[in-house]
Structure 1
């Protein structure tokens, strides 16, 4: 099926419909998805650097939690900072201080964008963009915030372009810039700067919120099921101990912990509507007909 415009990501201003990874469609989506999965796999599973980044960010998170001195606190901010920093390492090749004003602004824009997507204004805009763009409301602030994030991403891309070493890519942006250069003479290439900007924003917006919310939900589950928490802790202590950080190779030795994490992800409903899809052709299923929907461009111009 084709992928429609996600209600979580307003598609006005420079966030054009059918750009980037999350809300693109057809051949563009296939090419960007294949490239992104391959690149992230190279920087993640195939390279030690990504694991080290996660361990460093996790250590920073533990220090922040310990600084509360066992007093009650809301983990949302700490988790968002940590997850975002992992994504920043992977995409921008750097991580930010928890006190960095620009970083904090990006986190706030991310949180506000997700809230907007699930708000009545966001739902109305998603269904009636042609009408809503003329009406006053909170959606205009969301558009302005997204444009600020876009400007930040574009400045990072420009900095990468000025310091790029094609033989030694540092992160996702470098890899994409290399691909743009390789296909500059291909008139049908999907590797263009507007797709790079939108894809980086997709990774930052979607990755930060979904991952941090999953971890926060997992903490809630551990509180509700203390026996499960105890069993996980015992397995982790017996395999990893309490003096070193976990590594990916430990996963095969932690079957109970691995099963619990998969069950948490199966059980939770982090994006109720998911990324909208539409039928590319008429489909009959158990006596029901799912009709073909008009073109993606027509959907965006509604």
Structure 2
């Protein structure tokens, strides 16, 4: 099991069963008109960047335009609801990150979609890695020292960590760590990662597990310190930083991951064709080379995607309930 919650095979290679999901029957479906790829996030974030790479590759394979349609709002819930209501004919697909399916639904007062029923898993696309990052003034250089320092701080001055909002992957990843390792810390939610990392750089908060695309440039420049990399192997750009398994054996924390989905009732032949083509896309080294910093390909077929989503939906639902999170 990798630290993102995926079996190692899911990130590094596609199982035979997933490859077999293609086959001759999958070749029969071909989109007859442009495909709308609904991406429930604003332009420019990691999910949007990877969605545009996927759209470009699928357009080439299908001989038909695949157009990214950004539909941000409510942590991704607005766009996912659109995908759930779309016609099940392959003309509308979705590029969705795990939070909108396994976290946000548990926070909604009234659900506008059921993630395990209304959304059809097709294929994995990417994992967005993170690191445990602190302000360099904090007198810690390891996860063990971080825990000891957090426990020793005065009750009125707890360790503060930022995320880009309640219920985001960085928020719940730190909560997972805090609860397993048993140390106090205060969550400080921001509207954007940019605002949060600015306060981390200024020392107004001390810790984060925000996306590597946000924090790594500052780690490499010496303005922030990384204590552990949340991935199965060390990041070659920060080779002296241990993996989470090295820094805190047995600790597994959530990473953001993204995949291709369709609406309920999407025919099996469309799912199979899309899964087969996505396996080719994410298996291409050129695709990996174009991914944003901290992201890597996630090779997973429909059944593996469904199983992982079900497990994380249950696990993260329990964590959301324990924290008492609700959408604002």
TM-score of the two chains, using structure 2 as the length reference: 0.21
Higher share in helix? 1
TM-score by length of 1: 0.23
Question: Which one has the bigger strand percentage?
Answer: 2
Higher alpha-carbon Rg: 1
Report 1 or 2 for greater relative contact order, CA contacts < 8 Å, sequence distance ≥ 6: 2
